[in-house]
């Protein structure tokens, strides 16, 4: 018999989430972001700092190439949203 005052146990993660979290670096970052809401802010700060370093090292290509990549990502995202 279960203790009624005990907090409910969390649901088991889905198969895709377990596979995604098994990826060495990306999964570690994803688990860390899910743990605390402030980690999202630090992840964005790290991304902007990385982009700034690319601009300092490579100049204009360091600015343009990530923007072009994000254009493709947003295009795919818009297609997925429009499909429902």
What's the pLDDT tens digit per position in 6-17? Answer: 676 677 778 888
The mean pLDDT value for 59-64 works out to 92
Q: Distance between CA 78 and CA 80 in Å, rounded?
A: 5
Closest CA to 67 of 81, 82, 80, 54: 54
Phi, psi for residue 81 in degrees, rounded to 5: -65, -40
- What residue segments make up the domains of the chain, in order of their start? 15-83
Q: Distance between CA 8 and CA 32 in Å, rounded?
A: 22
Q: What is the pLDDT of residue 9?
A: 64
Given a cut of 70, whether residue 81 has pLDDT beyond it is: yes
Q: Distance between CA 47 and CA 40 in Å, rounded?
A: 11
Q: Render pLDDT for 19-57 as a digit per residue (tens, 0 to 9).
A: 888 888 778 777 777 777 787 788 889 989 999 999 999
Q: What is the pLDDT of residue 1?
A: 57
- Cα–chain-centroid distance for residue 13? 17
């Amino acid at each position: 018999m279960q203790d009624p005052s005990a907090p409910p146990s969390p649901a088991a993660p889905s198969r895709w989430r377990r596979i995604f979290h098994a990826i060495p670096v990306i999964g570690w970052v994803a688990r860390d972001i899910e743990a605390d809401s402030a980690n999202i802010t630090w992840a964005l700060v790290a991304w902007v700092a990385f982009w700034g370093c690319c601009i300092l090292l490579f100049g204009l290509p360091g600015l343009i190439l990530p923007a072009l990549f994000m254009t493709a990502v947003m295009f795919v995202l818009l297609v997925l949203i429009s499909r429902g």
